[in-house]
C-alpha cells in the first residue's frame, strides 16, 4: 500500500474506535448484562463460584477474559474499569481483519475501505448485541471473516492448507461461541455446490470436516450433561432466547442507504463480475440469512442460530455488498459525458451524502432495547465498601447483583442474567414481614443484604450510602 492509503486506513480505524467507544463518553462501566455476566464467570473460573448456567457453552471466552484480566491487573489497572475500552479495541481489530479479507479477495483497496465504513455503521442494542459490547458474539466476528475467507480462497485456489486453517479457526470458536460456526454451515455447504468437482476429487481431505461436528457434539454433551437424543432440539431456537425477541426491523441494525447500496452491489456482482464463483459467497451469505429469518417468522423456530443472531449475521454480510454498490454507482457516474472536474465534485457530494445517511440514525435504538446502566457512581462506591468485608453471599436486587462479583468479588444470590431464584429475590424486597424475610435468608445462606430501603429486622447496619448494607 502507498503511504496515502495507509494514512487513510489508519484514519478510518481511529474513527471506528471513537464511534464504538462513544456510548462510554459519559459512563465508565459496562452497559450490557452479558458483559457483567462474563466478567463474573471469568473471575470465578476454576473457583467454587463458577456455575454452568446460561452461557456455559462460552467457557472459552471466559477463559480469554480471565487471562486478559491477569495481564491487565499486572499494570495495576482494574479490569472491569478497563472493560469499556474492549468493544472499541476489538471493533478496530475486526475492521482491520475485514479490510484484509476484502482487499485480498477483490484486490481493490477502496472496496476494503468502504466495507470497513459500512461495517462500523452496523448498529447495536441491548437485545441483538453488537459492536458496542464485548461479548462472545463480537469476539467471534474477526474469526468468522477469517474462516470464511480461508475456506473460500482455499477451494478456489485448490489450497488444502488454507482450508485446514479455516477448520482450525472453526474448532477454536466452538468453545467460545459455537453459534458463530453453526450459522455458517448452510452457507458453506451451498457455496461448495459451485465447486463440487474439486470437493469430490479431494473427498478424503474433506472428511476432516467431520471432525468439526464431532468435536462440537462431544463438547456440547460434556458441558450440558445432555444426551445424544436431545441434539436436534438443541439446534432449535424458539421465542424467548432474548428478553425482547420481537419485533425488530432490519433498520434497527443497518441503515436504509446501506441496504439500497447492497442491492446495487448484488446487481454489480451478478451482471459485471466475470468470475461469479469468486464472489458468489457475498450473495449466498445474506440470502441464507434471509431464508432463516423468514422460517422463524412463519414457524417461530430458528435452526442452528437464534433469531437475534441471524439478524446480526445478516447485517455482517452487507458491508461488502454495500461497498460494491458504491463502486458500481461511481462507475455509472463516471460514464456521464461531462468534464472531469464536475465528475470529481459529484463524487465528493455523493460520498458525503452516503456517509451522512449511513450514520445519521446510528444512535436511534429500539424502544425495548435501549442501553441500560447497571450501576451508577454511588452504587460503585457502595460495592467498593462491600469488597473490603469478609467474603460471603450477598442478597441484592437482580440488576445491581450483576456487578457484585466483578467489583466486590463476592457471590450474589441471583442476577438479572441468571434467573434462578430471581422471582423469590424480588419478592424478598417487597415483603413487609421480617419473619418471612429471615426465613428466606436462611434458605439462601445469605451473609449480607444490599438494599435501597432502610429496614429494621434485627440485621446489623454496617454501611449507609445510596444503598444500605446489612450483615446477617
Q: Are residues 260 and 317 in the same domain?
A: yes
- pTM of the entire structure? 0.88
Residue 455 belongs to domain spanning: 377-471
pLDDT score at 431: 62
Structural domain contains residue 408: yes
Structural domain contains residue 117: yes
Give the whole-angstrom CA distance, residue 413 versus residue 51. 12
Q: Which SS3 state, helix, strand or coil, does residue 159 take?
A: coil
Q: Are residues 87 and 135 in the same domain?
A: yes
Structural domain contains residue 395: yes
pLDDT score at 449: 87
Last residue of a domain, one of 350, 368, 386: 368
Q: Are residues 38 and 107 in the same domain?
A: yes
Which residues of the chain have a pLDDT value below 50?
A: 52-55, 244, 419
Q: Are residues 131 and 178 in the same domain?
A: yes
Contact call for residues 325 and 265 (beta carbons, < 8 A): yes
Q: Are residues 389 and 305 in the same domain?
A: no
Q: Are residues 263 and 140 in the same domain?
A: yes
Structural domain contains residue 359: yes
Structural domain contains residue 345: yes
Structural domain contains residue 209: yes
Structural domain contains residue 77: no
172-175 long-range contacts, CB within 8 A, separation 24+: 172/60, 172/143, 173/60, 173/140, 173/143, 173/144, 173/147, 174/60, 174/212, 174/215, 174/216, 174/219, 175/57, 175/58, 175/59, 175/60, 175/219
Last residue of a domain, one of 314, 335, 368: 368
Structural domain contains residue 303: yes
Nearest CA to 12 among 104, 94, 105, 85? 94
Q: Are residues 140 and 111 in the same domain?
A: yes
Q: Are residues 26 and 113 in the same domain?
A: yes
pLDDT score at 52: 47
* pLDDT one-digit tens code per residue, 289-316: 999 888 877 776 766 677 778 889 999 9
* pLDDT one-digit tens code per residue, 355-380: 999 998 899 888 777 888 889 999 99
Q: Are residues 197 and 165 in the same domain?
A: yes
Residues 6+ apart with CB under 8 A from 316: 119, 122, 141, 144
Give the whole-angstrom CA distance, residue 472 versus residue 464. 15
Q: What are phi and psi of 58, to 5 degrees?
A: -115, 30
pLDDT score at 50: 54
Domain count, the chain: 2
Last residue of a domain, one of 368, 403, 429: 368
pLDDT score at 65: 93
Residues constituting the chain: 472
Q: Are residues 47 and 140 in the same domain?
A: yes
Q: Are residues 300 and 385 in the same domain?
A: no
Q: Are residues 260 and 112 in the same domain?
A: yes
Amino acid at each position: 500500500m502507498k503511504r496515502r492509503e495507509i494514512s487513510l486506513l489508519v484514519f478510518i480505524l481511529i474513527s471506528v474506535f471513537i464511534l464504538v467507544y462513544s456510548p462510554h463518553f459519559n459512563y465508565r462501566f459496562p452497559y450490557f448484562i452479558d458483559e457483567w455476566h462474563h466478567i463474573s464467570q471469568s473471575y470465578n473460573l476454576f473457583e467454587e463460584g463458577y456455575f454452568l448456567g446460561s452461557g456455559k457453552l462460552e467457557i472459552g471466552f471466559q477463559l480469554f477474559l480471565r487471562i486478559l484480566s491477569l495481564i491487565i491487573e499486572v499494570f495495576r489497572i482494574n479490569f472491569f474499569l478497563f472493560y469499556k475500552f474492549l468493544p472499541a479495541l476489538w471493533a478496530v481489530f475486526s475492521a482491520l481483519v475485514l479490510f484484509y479479507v476484502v482487499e485480498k479477495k477483490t484486490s481493490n483497496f477502496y472496496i476494503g475501505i468502504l466495507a470497513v465504513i459500512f461495517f462500523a455503521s452496523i448498529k447495536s442494542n441491548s437485545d441483538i448485541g453488537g459492536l458496542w459490547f464485548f461479548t462472545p458474539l463480537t469476539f467471534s466476528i474477526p474469526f468468522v471473516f477469517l474462516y470464511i475467507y480461508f475456506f473460500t480462497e482455499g477451494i478456489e485456489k485448490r489450497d488444502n492448507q488454507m482450508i485446514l486453517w479455516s477448520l482450525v479457526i472453526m474448532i477454536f470458536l466452538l468453545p467460545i461461541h459455537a453459534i458463530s460456526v453453526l450459522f455458517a454451515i448452510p452457507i458453506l455447504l451451498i457455496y461448495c455446490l459451485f465447486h463440487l468437482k474439486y470437493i469430490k476429487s479431494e473427498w478424503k481431505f474433506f472428511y476432516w470436516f467431520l471432525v468439526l461436528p464431532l468435536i462440537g457434539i462431544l463438547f456440547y454433551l460434556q458441558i450440558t450433561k445432555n444426551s445424544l437424543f436431545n441434539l436436534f432440539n438443541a439446534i432449535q431456537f424458539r421465542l424467548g432466547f432474548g428478553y425482547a425477541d420481537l419485533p425488530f426491523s432490519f433498520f434497527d441494525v443497518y441503515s436504509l442507504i446501506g441496504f439500497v447500496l447492497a442491492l446495487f452491489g448484488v446487481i454489480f456482482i451478478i451482471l459485471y463480475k466475470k468470475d461469479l464463483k469468486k464472489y458468489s459467497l457475498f450473495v449466498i451469505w445474506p440470502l441464507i440469512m434471509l431464508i432463516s429469518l423468514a422460517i422463524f417468522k412463519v414457524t417461530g423456530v430458528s435452526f442452528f442460530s437464534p433469531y437475534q443472531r441471524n439478524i446480526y449475521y445478516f447485517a455482517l454480510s452487507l458491508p461488502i455488498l454495500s461497498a460494491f454498490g458504491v463502486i458500481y454507482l461511481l462507475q455509472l457516474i463516471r460514464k456521464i459525458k461531462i468534464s472531469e472536474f464536475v465528475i470529481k465534485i459529484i463524487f465528493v457530494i455523493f460520498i458525503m451524502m452516503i456517509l451522512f445517511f449511513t450514520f445519521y440514525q446510528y444512535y436511534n435504538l429500539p424502544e425495548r432495547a435501549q442501553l441500560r446502566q447497571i450501576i451508577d457512581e454511588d452504587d460503585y462506591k457502595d460495592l467498593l465498601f462491600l469488597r473490603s468485608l469478609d467474603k460471603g453471599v450477598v442478597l441484592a436486587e437482580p440488576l445491581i447483583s450483576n456487578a457484585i462479583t466483578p467489583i466486590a468479588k463476592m457471590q450474589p444470590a441471583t442476577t438479572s442474567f441468571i434467573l434462578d431464584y430471581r422471582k423469590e429475590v424480588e419478592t424478598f424486597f417487597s415483603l413487609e414481614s421480617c419473619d418471612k424475610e429471615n426465613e428466606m435468608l436462611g434458605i439462601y445462606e445469605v451473609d449480607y443484604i444490599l438494599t435501597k430501603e432502610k429496614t429494621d429486622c434485627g440485621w446489623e447496619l454496617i454501611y449507609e450510602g445510596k444503598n444500605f448494607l446489612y450483615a446477617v
